[in-house]
Amino acid sequence: VAARRVGKKKVDSKSKPAGTSAVSAVLSGKTERLSSLRDRHLSKAAKLIFPVFIDSAAGSRATDSDGKEYLDLTGGIGVNTGGHLHPSVVAAMRAQLEKHAHVASLMALNEPYLLVLERLASIAPAGMGPRDSVKGVLMNSGAEAVENAVKFARAFTKKSAVLAFQGSFHGRTLLTLALTGKTHPLKTGFGPYPPEVYHAPYAYCYRDGCAQGEGCVPEHLAKVREVLRASANEKNLAAILVEPIIGEGGFIVPPPGFLKGLREICDELGAVLIADEIQSGLGRTGRWWAIGHEKVAPDLVCAAKALGGGLPLSAVFGKAEIADAPQPGGVGSTFGGNPAACAAALAHLEVIERFMGLAPGLESSFRKSMKELQARAPIVGDVRGRGAMLAIELVKDQKSKEPAAQEATKVQQACLAAGVMVLTAGAAGNVVRLLPALTIPEKEWKTGLDTLAFAVEDASSARPA
Ligand SMILES: Cc1ncc(COP(=O)(O)O)c(C=O)c1O
């Protein structure tokens, strides 16, 4: 297929945004073989977002098994904040692999592990106490970081209840699924879940119909207190677990003052405030931590995704007295803090630090482009996000705000056909979200935004008025 049509514009393959023609009528032998392997051996429960097989990736681009190139505006779901295979990250991984790949850190520690903990302590949110009293452990996945944060909080407070939020996502292990507030299909059919987990409404100003300002904060916090009072025996509260910006649940930025209010509730009830910064942290929003925009100090932070620069690595760290609370041997992991992943992390954090200042520019060009789009495409209900964590919420009608989930999927598919990868999100799947690399060249970012805008206009005009 030599030409593709996105929105009202016809674009031939010479001016395509992301390399080669994105729609191929004939699959290569390799793609056919991989499709057949997938159908034979991959569990159907592992639903795939895109029907393509990635062969290679560099910077903001990924190439599939047909040789088609995509502009990746997902950053590998928030992992490749410094772009795919940044040369300094690759060099650091290689150098470590020349030394050793694994001698279980549980058994004998390695230098990169300790340097990652030291680096995380040096960038810990202000107000957590002296940097040299910040402690933690390294794990492999985000879910493990959250699980261990809850273990720390329970061991420290000697209490058990955990308050999380509706619409949140914290992982796919049974405890983190229990904590997750986004239900279908994530939680369906896997219960029973561990007890003593409660959910309060998040401050979702767009859906709650309040202007995003401090004025509505007391109302949002009153709902949180009501859940604590009515269902969660507040005296037994070990922790509040919060995404400072909700990720999978639709890039919901709470109004200023909401996170501070949660801090105050924790202080009153002797509970631990855990910031799940797995998606929002590590420079994604233009600061090391999304909670840093509000100058609120959590007690524990969970980090993962971008930490390992593409290799699996996660961390939970925070106040020493909390991290030291469990009995020795109470936490650990065979692979946690893998030295190659730690070496990659040290290099990736350097790259992120160098490019973090570009996040506000990505946000302002996104807002400008999407606000203009909103004027033309009535399905754009809300434009939101912070730094390089950006989204539009699609609705069938601006007044009723009925979620337009099918349209969001259509937009995602049209973008893919045009060679651009974007993700959906939200409890109803009606949010289109972008997590571009901070290193994305301006021209590619503009191409990505234009492609998204065409696809949204197309989906908008396909809807009956
Ligand atoms: C906020 C948040 N917490 C936890 C997780 C779980 O991380 P993982 O998939 O590495 O277990 C995710 C993953 O998307 C996330 O976005």
169 lines ligand 1 (CB under 6 A): yes
Ligand 1 geometric centre to CA of 288 (Å): 17
CA of 198 to the centre of ligand 1 (A): 19
Given pLDDT bands bounded at 50, 70 and 90, which one contains residue 119? very high
Q: What is residue 21's predicted lDDT score, i.e. its pLDDT?
A: 44
Pocket lining: 279 vs ligand 1, CB cutoff 6 Å:
yes
Q: Which residue has the tokens 């840093």?
A: 292
* pLDDT band of 142, cuts 50, 70, 90: very high
Ligand 1 proximity of 248 Cβ (cutoff 6 Å): yes
pLDDT digits (tens, 9 = 90+) for 200-257: 999 999 999 997 777 999 999 999 999 999 987 899 999 999 999 999 999 999 999 9
For residue range 313-366, what is the model confidence (pLDDT) as tens digits? 999 999 999 999 999 999 999 999 999 999 999 999 999 999 999 999 999 999
The answer to whether 113 and 338 are in contact (CB under 8 A) is: no
pLDDT number for residue 464? 53
**Beta strands 380-386 and 389-394, pairing class:** antiparallel
* Confidence grade of residue 2 (pLDDT, cut at 50, 70, 90): very low
Determine the pLDDT at residue 183. Answer: 82
- How many other C-beta atoms can be found within 10 angstroms of the C-beta atom of residue 264? 13
CA distances from 202 to 172, 386, 391, 433 (A): 20, 17, 17, 19
pLDDT for 167-207, tens place per residue?
Answer: 999 999 999 999 999 888 899 999 999 999 999 999 999 99
Tally of CA atoms within 13 A in the half-sphere of 59 that contains its CB: 11
Question: Ligand 1 atom 8: the closest Cα is on which residue?
Answer: 142
| Distance from C-alpha of 454 to C-alpha of 371, rounded to nearest angstrom | 14
Global confidence as pTM? 0.94
If you average pLDDT over every residue of the chain, what do you get?
93
Cα 194 to middle of ligand 1, angstroms: 19
What is the per-residue pLDDT for 180? 98
Place of tokens 């985000």: 142
Q: Which ligand 1 atom is the nearest neighbour of the CA of 173?
A: 11
- Distance from Cα 435 to the centre of ligand 1, integer Å: 14
Least confident of 21-25, 256-260, 387-391: 21-25
Distance, in Å, from the CA atom of 58 to the CA atom of 348, rounded to the nearest integer, reads 14
Q: 308 pLDDT band (50/70/90 cuts)? A: very high
Any atom of ligand 1 within 6 Å of the Cβ of 168: no
Question: What would the pLDDT profile of 403-428 be if each residue is shown by its tens digit?
Answer: 999 999 999 999 999 999 999 999 99
Report the atom number in ligand 1 closest to the C-alpha of 312. Answer: 10
Q: What is the mean pLDDT of residues 14-36?
A: 64
Give me the pLDDT at residue 214, please: 76
What pLDDT is stored for residue 8 in this prediction?
38
193-229: b (≥16 Cβ within 10 Å) or e? ebebbbbbbbbbbbbeebebeeebbeebbeebeebbe
**Residue-by-residue DSSP string for 123-135:** TSPTTSS-GGGEE
Inter-residue contact 72 to 447 (CB < 8 Å): no
Closest-CA residue, ligand 1 atom 4, reads 170
Mean pLDDT to the nearest integer, 382-411 = 97
- Res 11 pLDDT > 50: no
Encode pLDDT of 447-458 as tens digits: 999 999 999 999
Portion of the chain with pLDDT greater than 90, in percent: 89
Count of H-run helices and E-run strands, the chain: 14, 17
**What is the distance between the alpha carbons of residues 153 and 150, in angstroms, rounded to a whole number?**
5
pLDDT score of 388: 98
Does the beta carbon of 170 lie inside 6 Å of ligand 1? yes
Query: Token pair for residue 30?
Result: 């390799």
With 0-12 / 13-18 / 19 or more C-beta atoms within 10 angstroms meaning exposed / middle / buried, residue 334 is exposed
Q: 41-65 pLDDT, tens per residue?
A: 999 999 999 999 999 999 999 999 9
Reported as a pLDDT band with limits 50, 70 and 90, residue 463 is low
pLDDT of residue 129: 85
